[in-house]
Homo-oligomer: A and B are copies of this chain.
Amino acid sequence: MHNILINGQPGERIAVTDRALHYGDGLFETIAVINGSPRFWERHISRLHRGCERLGIPLPDRTLLREEVGQIACNEAACVVKIIVSRGSGGRGYRPPAVVEPTRLVMRYPFPDYPLSRATEGIELRVCDTPLGCNPRLAGIKHLNRLEQVLARSEWDDERVVEGIMLDSEGHLVDGTMSNLFLVIDGVLCTPELSRCGVEGVVRATLIDLAQQQGIPLRIAPIKVVMLARAEEVFVSNALIGIWPVNRCGELRFTVGPVTGRLQALLATTLESGDA
């Protein structure tokens, strides 16, 4: 069984001329695949396409990608499939080549064995020192320029701290190194708006839809870091973890509260119904 497909073919190496290597000139998706079925598939592929449009990279065929994900995950009860789409090979220099032949990588990884307690009792967060630069042209999409996240994740070794929250240069909460951030403040579900930096997560989008459908008060807006101290509940989300409540961030303590619990239940129902 192969665990890497490069433009549909088994392989382990790519050309050193690939622009993903030189410039991070591409996009990625990290997908939970359960019994061969990729969760949140439509949202993943939509974000990948939005990213390709933003960067001017030809869109990968979604049927082909779906087949390759199925092929690589076919013998696994649960695995992670990462897709990378780059602008492909080019010469020296930033200017994209006149004819672009994107590189399509589909890679399988083991599903991480996260302790179940993270979803029930919650996790500890930290606030990272590494700031996020703001650039509306790159905000929201899941591009390959991820040094800020690498530096932020390098800030701590303490295994008790599970995730780090990143701020923009003006001290707004943006997202976690690998997750989106939600706060419940005065009963309102709040999440940072991401028009200047951050990644628009597929679970974040699902939770926004669920909150709107269920009449849960929702606010998508810039949120200053000091608002953490005013939150009744805090949680993080991504496509592999779903929702993890936050029980601690530095000196602040949070309880696993009713809004978080309700959204966990709604998300589970959505996943079970196959709507995700």
Q: Which of A's residues lie within 8 Å of B, judged by CB? A: 4, 6, 11-16, 18-25, 28, 30, 55-56, 80, 82, 84, 86-87, 91-96, 105, 107, 109, 130-138, 143-154, 169, 177-178, 197
B-chain residues with CB within 8 Å of residue A133 when the two chains form the complex:
133-135, 138, 197
- Would A94 and B135 count as touching, CB distance under 8 A? no
16 more CB-based (< 8 A) A-B contacts, given A14-B14, A133-B135? A6-B16, A11-B16, A13-B14, A21-B21, A22-B28, A23-B147, A23-B149, A24-B147, A93-B178, A94-B150, A96-B153, A131-B136, A133-B133, A133-B134, A135-B169, A138-B151
- Would B55 and A25 count as touching, CB distance under 8 A? no
B-chain residues with CB within 8 Å of residue A16 when the two chains form the complex:
4, 6, 11-14, 105, 107
- Would B95 and A153 count as touching, CB distance under 8 A? yes
- Would B22 and A144 count as touching, CB distance under 8 A? yes
- A146 CA to B87 CA, complexed, in Å: 13
- Would A130 and B137 count as touching, CB distance under 8 A? yes
- A14 CA to B149 CA, complexed, in Å: 23
Nearest B residue to A151 via CB reads: B137
- Would B94 and A25 count as touching, CB distance under 8 A? no
Highest count of chain B CB atoms <10 Å: which of A6, A19, A109, A148: A148
Name the distance in Å between A20's Cβ and chain B's nearest Cβ: 5
Nearest B residue to A156 via CB reads: B95
Nearest B residue to A91 via CB reads: B109
Say yes or no: A21-B14 contact (C-beta < 8 A), given A94-B146, A133-B138, A135-B148. yes
**Contacting A15 at CB < 8 Å: which of B13, B130, B131, B137?**
B13
- Would B56 and A154 count as touching, CB distance under 8 A? yes
